[in-house]
Amino acid sequence: MKNETIPETKPTEPTQRIHRAFSRAADRYEGAGQMQDYAAGCLAELFRRSLGGEKPRRVLEIGAGSGFLTRRLRPEVLPGGVYTANDLTESFAHRYRSWGCVPLVGDVLQVALPQGQDAVVSSSCFQWIADLSGLFRRLAACLAEGGALCFSTFGPEHFLQVKSLTGVGLEYPSPERIAGELLGAGFEVGESLREKDLLRFDTAWEMLRYFSATGVNGIARPAEGLWTPGRLQDFERRYRQRYTASPGEPLPLTVDYLWFSARKRR
């Protein structure tokens, strides 16, 4: 089959900011994405358990990014099947094509999705999508009956320290809410897993550099606007007062991993 790029749709205004952030971070993302790599590795194992030995012929990945999950799952489909790799930006389309995948560029809530999929997968992406109900209904519509949906995202305690100090951050849904949205969209939930971890940074500046390298700097922006040396110094002072026991202790940052597997009801 000839691997062609499925045309891009114009992103909505809320997604344009995300588009710009991830486009700027594309070259740095791979080296800084240890958290995303771990989530993808665990998701790949969940995907294999969910399929129970079946070999899917048509798989759609949402938010493929630099390919942490794509690299792990494409051997499950190719050669012989079709692996469609969707991302909001064009940054990695050439990479997907070189791997034998079909690039699909655009907003998952707007772009025409391939139909009759055996499975839809996504790693560290759904936290950016506010309309979970609409998302899950769109994905159910593109799945064959009994098709699998496997994804990782993040829970309510993700990056809680930063949000508590800046007042800025994403609204991460609870596992219970996600399960409810899946049921409402016509899925049966298989596994639901949660794991918490801590990232540690020597300074607030190091933490902000990490956010910038992974394209999520917008969620750590102070309520007043841009970071200044004074704001950064005050942020680190308050961070240490609230979340560390001694002046030289690294700054802890909570990671709240969630994984789900589900099947479209027959």
* Residues 21 and 129 placed together within one structural domain of the fold: yes
pLDDT in tens, 100-112: 999 999 999 999 9
Q: What is the mean pLDDT of residues 31-45?
A: 88
Residue 60 forms part of a structural domain: yes
Residue 165 forms part of a structural domain: no
Segment among 2-11, 116-125, 133-142, 231-240 with least mean pLDDT: 2-11
CB contact at 8 A, 138 and 120:
no
* Residues 182 and 231 placed together within one structural domain of the fold: no
The total number of structural domains in the chain stands at: 2
- What is the DSSP annotation of 96-129? HHHTT-EEEES-TTTSPPPSSEEEEEEES-GGG-
Q: Which of 139, 120, 4 is nearest to 64 (CA)?
A: 120
**Is residue 22 over pLDDT 50?**
no
CA 259 – CA 266 distance, rounded (Å)? 23
- What does pLDDT average to over the chain? 87
* Residues 182 and 243 placed together within one structural domain of the fold: no
**Can you give the pLDDT at residue 14?**
44
**Is residue 8 over pLDDT 90?**
no
Q: What is the pTM of this model?
A: 0.85
* Residues 119 and 208 placed together within one structural domain of the fold: no
pLDDT in tens, 178-213: 999 999 999 999 999 999 999 999 999 999 999 888
* Residues 150 and 210 placed together within one structural domain of the fold: no
* Residues 124 and 238 placed together within one structural domain of the fold: no
Residue 161 forms part of a structural domain: no
* Residues 259 and 247 placed together within one structural domain of the fold: no
* Residues 257 and 244 placed together within one structural domain of the fold: no
**Is residue 218 over pLDDT 60?**
no
Residue 3 forms part of a structural domain: no
Residues spanned by the domain of 21? 13-156+171-197+253-264
* Residues 35 and 49 placed together within one structural domain of the fold: yes
> 12: pLDDT confidence band, cut at 50, 70 and 90?
very low
Q: What is the mean pLDDT of residues 50-77?
A: 96
**Can you give the pLDDT at residue 266?**
86
